[in-house]
Every structure is written in C-alpha cells, then in structure tokens.
Structure 1
Amino acid sequence: MADRPRARQIVDAARELLETEGADALTMRRIADRLGIRAPSLYKHFPDKQAVEAELIAQGLAEMADVQEAALAREAERPLAPEGERPLVALGAAYRAYALAHPHLYRLMTEGPLPRHLLPDGLEQRAALPLVRTVPDEHRARAVWAFAHGMVTLEMDGRFPPGADLDRAWQVGLAALAD
C-alpha cells in the first residue's frame, strides 16, 4: 500500500514518530500533524492505524531479513567456518544489533498478534528464512528465536545486572542451541 507517494510520506512520518517517541506516539493525529495535514486526510490512504502499523511491521521484517541475510553471507565468506555454531552466532548478533538499534519498531514487530493478513505475501517467511536455513529443525529454530527475543527484550528493559557480560551470555545460549 505504501507504494504511492503520499502513503510513503505517511509511513515515513509514522516511522519517525515511532523511532523517536515510541508506539504511544503513533496516533493518526500525531502522524497528520507531522505532515502538516488534517488527520481525516490520512484515511484516504490507510483505513486505520493498524494498517499504518502493518506497513511499519513490514518494513521492520524486511530490514531484519536483510541484516540477517547479510550476516549469513559474511559468515559464509569466512575461511574454515565450522558447521552450526558460528552462523547461528552471526545471526544472533545481527538480530540483537537490529533490535537494539530500533527498539520501538522491534517491539511493534514482536508484541501482540502479528497482523499477517495485512503483510505482503511471503514476507514473514523471508524474515524467518535465515534462521530456518541455519537451524532446519523447526522446534529448535523456535527455541532459538525465543531465546534471542527473550535476551533482547530483557536487555532493552534493563533487566540484567550492571556489568553482566551479555555478549558471553548470547554466545553460550546460542552455542547450547546450535547442536
């Protein structure tokens, strides 16, 4: 839907609000104010706020897929890459870096039900593909995702004690799930 110029402007304004102020700032009125238009004008392009949020989620999933695909490509170019652990550690590092760089978008992408019916066909699968390729067992892949999501959420929430070696915790956790 965001392929039309005004729709792209709306999504860009929403992304800016989300990234700088969080999900609570994402209202149709605030988006319209940022664009210098009246809120009812937004409804010519999006039926409701959920549709705008779905566009943001789609952006985030595509970006997450991009960073994870790039991490796997870099890892594949490294000499003497042992099977299993290193690609998974590379994926974990890319996942963590993206989530920490975009905490509000990450939360929008991962909290609450995913509006699958509003996302482009195949996007959810593309976002999952780097992990599925690295960890082909679907149950283990879900466990890895749950570990990564839990770790990054706890880190964003400041739940680890000061001085905790989170890099090492990621390495140990992913190594345990690699085999």
Structure 2
Amino acid sequence: MSNRDPSSHAAAGITVPAIADAALTVIRAAGVDGLTMRVVADRLQVRAPSLYHHVRNKSELLDLVARNAFDQFAADTTAYGQLRTVDEWIELTRSGSLELRAFYAEHPGLAGLIQSKITPDRDRGEGSRAELVRAQIEALVRIGVPEPDARHIFEITARWSLAAVVAADDVFADGLDLFLYGVRARLNALIS
C-alpha cells in the first residue's frame, strides 16, 4: 500500500477531461481572462502543482479548452451523418450556429480563444471540436461538394459565425440567414 499525498493527481483522480470541464466552468463564471491554473485546481479541489502532470502551463490549458470545449456543447454530430441535401445542411448549420452563439455567450471570451486556435486541417486532430468539424465537412462531401470546396465553405461558415457572435440576437439571426442564403447558392452551384 502506497502513502501518496491525497492531493497528488493520481490520488485525486484528475483526468484531462475533468480539467477541461473545470476550465470551462471557470470560463462560464469568470471569462477566459479569469482562467488560471490555480482557479482550475481550486475547482478540482487539488493543489495547482497536481495539474502540471497533465498541462504544463496556461497556454496548454487554453489549447486543451479549445480542443475540448464542445464536449459541453450539445452539438449532434450524428445528425450531420444523416444529411442528404444542401437544404438539410443549411438548416442544421443554421440551428447549430444559433445554439453555438448561445454557448459562446455563456462562456465569455471563448469565441475569441477558439478563433485564435484555428489551424488548417483541424478536423484531423483530437477532441470534440475536431469531431464536429469532421462531421460537417464529411456531410458536405457526401452531398456532392468536392472536398477542397467543402473545407473552404466550412471554414468560411465557421469563421463568419465566430466573428458575428458578438452581434445582438436579431442581428446575428438575420445576418446568419443572409450569409447562409449565399452559402446555399454556392453549394448548389458546386453540385449542379
């Protein structure tokens, strides 16, 4: 039998998903600016050094949050697997964008963090964000959009939504409808 310090990461049962969840809880309460290793450790009821076994510093913590933020977002990635038409993709993207805007509103600064962590081919990475990106791109390809175009349209749609997240509710919804009207036209032209 080992005499481990109960605040050690193994004894406390700290996992990477638990750290990500705790960080998102902190962001919901205090915004990205209020996120620190110490505050996350307090949330997990451990000492801050216990976190360093999984995340070396705040920069890695922010990367972890960006990769796993959508674990708490109720995105239905399986719904993208059932899509067969451009109109279905547009409707699911519209409703998902409205839900995502509400999620970002509950987590001050998260949209900016996600925007700052965007990388090419992010669907090929790990975490819930990569799964959601992958599902959306694969849906476009399945309905007949060439993969490079599918990636481009996804990227534009995602960046527009992130940039517009600060707009008032009605302005966001109207802007989203106008934006998706143009996306629908582009998609229809690509698969015709």
> Does the alignment pair 1:92 with 2:93?
yes
> Does the alignment pair 1:34 with 2:35?
no
Change (3 A) 1:21 1:67: farther
Cα deviation per residue 1:99-155 (whole Å; 9 max; x = unaligned)? 213224444333235497xx5389736632432331432332233223312431333
User: Which piece of structure 1 moves more, 10-19 or 140-149?
Assistant: 140-149
Contact 1:32 1:39 in 2 (8 A): yes
Provide the residue aligned with 1:142 in structure 2.
151
Cα distance in 1 for residues equivalent to 2:166 and 2:129: 28
Change (3 A) 1:143 1:150: same
Q: 1:53 aligns with which of 36, 59, 62?
A: 62
Task: Give the structure with higher Rg (CA).
Answer: 2
Aligned length: 166
Provide the residue aligned with 2:14 in structure 1.
6
User: Which piece of structure 1 moves more, 168-177 or 124-133?
Assistant: 124-133
RMSD: 3.7
Change (3 A) 1:72 1:20: farther
> Does the alignment pair 1:111 with 2:136?
no
Question: Which residue identity does 2:114 align to in structure 1?
Answer: M
Question: Which residue identity does 1:88 align to in structure 2?
Answer: W
Displacement after TM superposition at 1:54 (Å): 3.4
Contact 1:140 1:177 in 2 (8 A): no
Q: 2:136 aligns with which of 130, 149, 152?
A: 130
Cα distance in 2 for residues equivalent to 1:121 and 1:163: 27
Question: Which residue identity does 1:46 align to in structure 2?
Answer: V
- The percent of aligned pairs where both chains have the same amino acid is 23
Displacement after TM superposition at 1:38 (Å): 3.0
Displacement after TM superposition at 1:15 (Å): 1.3
Unaligned runs of 5+ in 2: 1-11
Cα distance in 1 for residues equivalent to 2:24 and 2:88: 31
Cα distance in 1 for residues equivalent to 2:176 and 2:66: 27
Contact 2:70 2:128 in 1 (8 A): no
Cα deviation per residue 1:36-68 (whole Å; 9 max; x = unaligned)? 433223213322233333332332356779524
Contact 2:19 2:40 in 1 (8 A): yes
Cα deviation per residue 1:20-45 (whole Å; 9 max; x = unaligned)? 33222221122123334332232133
TM-score scaled by structure 2?
Answer: 0.64
SS of 2:56 mapped into structure 1: coil
Provide the residue aligned with 1:102 in structure 2.
103
Question: Which residue identity does 2:23 align to in structure 1?
Answer: A
